[in-house]
């Protein structure tokens, strides 16, 4: 499949949300709904420390095949996100809170989440990456990941990190390990979810 890397722009927001919902159907952010996801991904489009990329096909419409987003400054990014758009996230969360009021603490954690920053070097956070179902075996994910890492390097970061499920997630863990990421630690969320924290350092 012919594909190319492009900058993630506002006009592609709905496509990215659709890909997220397909790739992460049973995850918490998907439960919060498309309106919340649009606000979440929109926040990466206006922040100077964010790196947001798309993979598009070779057709005339440049259909979106996948995306990757992250930030060079995790703590500052999510703080600025809440300061600028707290009202938008609140409005987008109303439906989910009405359905399950007890999710309020978890929702707050989702909004201030920094990926549990590993100690040591100053590292960028890879926040989310996904591809369409039909593009999953065409190397699109590997291309997006490599392009994002290259952007992080070019911006002067010392490395990068991410978290992903440690259990029932073998394909995703192999994906990062084959790309050269190393498990730095294992984390347990307040909900009991076991996560692998991966790092890739450039020094």
- Please state the domain count of the chain: 1
- Burial zone of 156 (CB within 10 Å; 0-12 exposed, 13-18 middle, 19+ buried): exposed
Asked whether residue 97 is assigned to any structural domain, the reply reads yes
- Provide φ and ψ at 184, rounded to 5°: -95, -35
Q: With bands split at pLDDT 50, 70 and 90, how would you rate the model's confidence at 78?
A: low
pLDDT score, position 173: 97
CA 38 vs. chain centroid, Å, equals 13
Asked whether residue 37 is assigned to any structural domain, the reply reads yes
Q: Which of 40, 26, 200, 37 is nearest to 125 (CA)?
A: 200
Asked whether residue 167 is assigned to any structural domain, the reply reads no
- With a threshold of 0.75, does the pTM exceed it? yes
Asked whether residue 194 is assigned to any structural domain, the reply reads no
Q: Is the Cβ–Cβ distance between 50 and 69 less than 8 Å?
A: yes
- Helix pair 34-46, 13-23: axis angle to 10 deg: 120
Q: Which two tokens stand for residue 92?
A: 């987008």
Cα 104 to Cα 93: distance, rounded to the nearest angstrom: 9
What percent of the chain shows pLDDT beyond 70? 81
Domain span at residue 13 reads 3-156
Asked whether residue 182 is assigned to any structural domain, the reply reads no
pLDDT tens sequence across 1-49: 678 999 999 999 999 999 999 999 888 777 778 888 998 899 899 889 9
Asked whether residue 121 is assigned to any structural domain, the reply reads yes
């Amino acid at each position: 499949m012919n594909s190319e890397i492009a900058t993630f722009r506002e006009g592609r927001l709905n496509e990215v949300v659709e890909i997220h919902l397909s790739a992460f159907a049973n995850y918490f952010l998907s439960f919060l709904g498309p309106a919340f996801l649009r606000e979440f991904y929109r926040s990466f489009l206006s922040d100077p420390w964010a790196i947001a990329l798309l993979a598009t096909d070779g057709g005339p419409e440049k259909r979106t095949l996948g995306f990757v987003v992250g930030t060079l400054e995790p703590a500052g990014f999510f703080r600025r996100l809440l300061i600028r758009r707290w009202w938008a996230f609140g409005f987008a969360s109303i439906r989910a809170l009405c359905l399950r009021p007890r999710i309020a603490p978890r929702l707050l954690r989702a909004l201030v989440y920094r990926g549990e920053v590993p100690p040591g070097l100053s590292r960028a956070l890879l926040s989310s990456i996904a591809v369409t179902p039909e593009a999953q075996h065409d190397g699109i994910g590997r291309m997006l990941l490599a392009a994002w890492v290259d952007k992080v390097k070019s911006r002067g970061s010392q490395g990068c990190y991410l978290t992903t499920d440690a259990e029932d997630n073998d394909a995703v863990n192999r994906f990062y390990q084959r790309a050269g990421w190393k498990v730095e630690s294992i984390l347990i969320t307040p909900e009991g979810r076991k996560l692998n924290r991966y790092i890739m350092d450039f020094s």
